Amino acid sequence: MENAVGEVQNILVLGGRSEIGVAIARELLTPSTQRVMLACRQPGESREVEASLARNGLRVESVSFDAADTASHAGFVDNIVEGSGDLDVVILAFGVLGSQEQCDDDSQSAVKIAHTNYSGAVSIAMEVAKRFRQQGHGRLIILSSVAGERTRKANYVYGSTKAGLDAFAQGLSDAMVGTGASVMIVRPGFVHSAMTTGMKAAPFSTTPEVVAKLTVKGLRAGKRIIWTPGILRWVFMVMRHLPVAIWRRMPMG
């Protein structure tokens, strides 16, 4: 659990190869941090990430986790807690971007994205929340996206999963009030990462490191929702209310 001055000791990254998730974990590290667990489908492929986090006194390890295998999630959390003790911070950072064109041609591609990004996220978040209630503490960071604020025709399957996840996260955040635990929602804009390689950057694009700094700053300030960068909050306040005829003609739509 967190030490007497609130420094995080155990961190779990769900989506252990996520550049944003790992950047947040790195930003959270203090000399008091004892363990970072990187949960991903292929733990053997995370050795380079493990090495990037390694430092004296810190145990970094990759563990097997399949977001789509929801039946395994309860046992996964039990095993993590049995091996590491209480969870201080859990970062829910996994997700599938996919191709809208492929979804248009193959409905099962859309179903796969929806199942992983929404059903898988809901499943593991509920198990983490249950554990947090038992502990009486813990902080869950859920990576949403501005793509869920108003879905675009260019990626409406992905955007719809983020819209659903964001709504779920808001409800879970309210439900955790009074338990000693909390949920924080992060809404990044376009982030330069392996997932977006080759894509045209949107206005106000950012990096995993910037998202991480703003996330940890928000976490320490007790924020419920943060936008990265912050200006996107005001941009989408306008975008959300644009007439449909205008929205459909916009290049980003």
Higher per-residue pLDDT: 200 or 163: 163
Asked if residue 5 is part of any domain, the answer here is no
CA proximity to 239, closest of 142, 160, 150: 150
Dihedral (CA of 40, 122, 111, 185) sign: negative
Asked if residue 39 is part of any domain, the answer here is yes
Tell me the average pLDDT of the chain: 90
Domain coverage including residue 207: 10-249
Q: What would the mean pLDDT of 26-52 be, rounded to a whole number?
A: 91
pTM for the full predicted model: 0.90
The tokens for 47 are 């050795």
The CA-atom distances, in angstroms, between 194 and each of 18, 78, 97, 198 are 9, 31, 11, 9
Asked if residue 2 is part of any domain, the answer here is no
- Quote the pLDDT of residue 206: 81
Asked if residue 43 is part of any domain, the answer here is yes
Kindly report, residue by residue over 95-132, the tens digit of the pLDDT. Answer: 999 899 999 999 999 999 999 999 999 999 999 999 99
Asked if residue 232 is part of any domain, the answer here is yes
- Quote the pLDDT of residue 105: 95
Asked if residue 173 is part of any domain, the answer here is yes
Looking at the chain, the whole-number percentage of residues with pLDDT higher than 70 is 91
Whether 33 and 54 have beta carbons less than 8 Å apart is answered as no
Cis before 229? omega within 30 = yes
Asked if residue 228 is part of any domain, the answer here is yes
CATH number, domain of 191, equals 3.40.50.720
Task: Report the relative pairing of strands 181-188 and 225-228 from DSSP bridges.
Answer: parallel
Which residues carry out catalysis?
Answer: 158
Asked if residue 4 is part of any domain, the answer here is no
What letters, b where the CB count within 10 A reaches 16 and e where it falls short, cover 145-157? bbbbbbbbeebbb
Kindly report, residue by residue over 122-154, the tens digit of the pLDDT. Answer: 999 999 999 999 999 999 999 999 988 888 888
Choose the weakest-confidence range: 184-193, 216-225, 231-240: 231-240
CA dihedral 140, 141, 146, 148 (to 10 degrees): -30
Looking at the 3D structure of the chain, how many domains does it have? Answer: 1
| pLDDT band per the 50, 70, 90 thresholds, residue 179 | very high
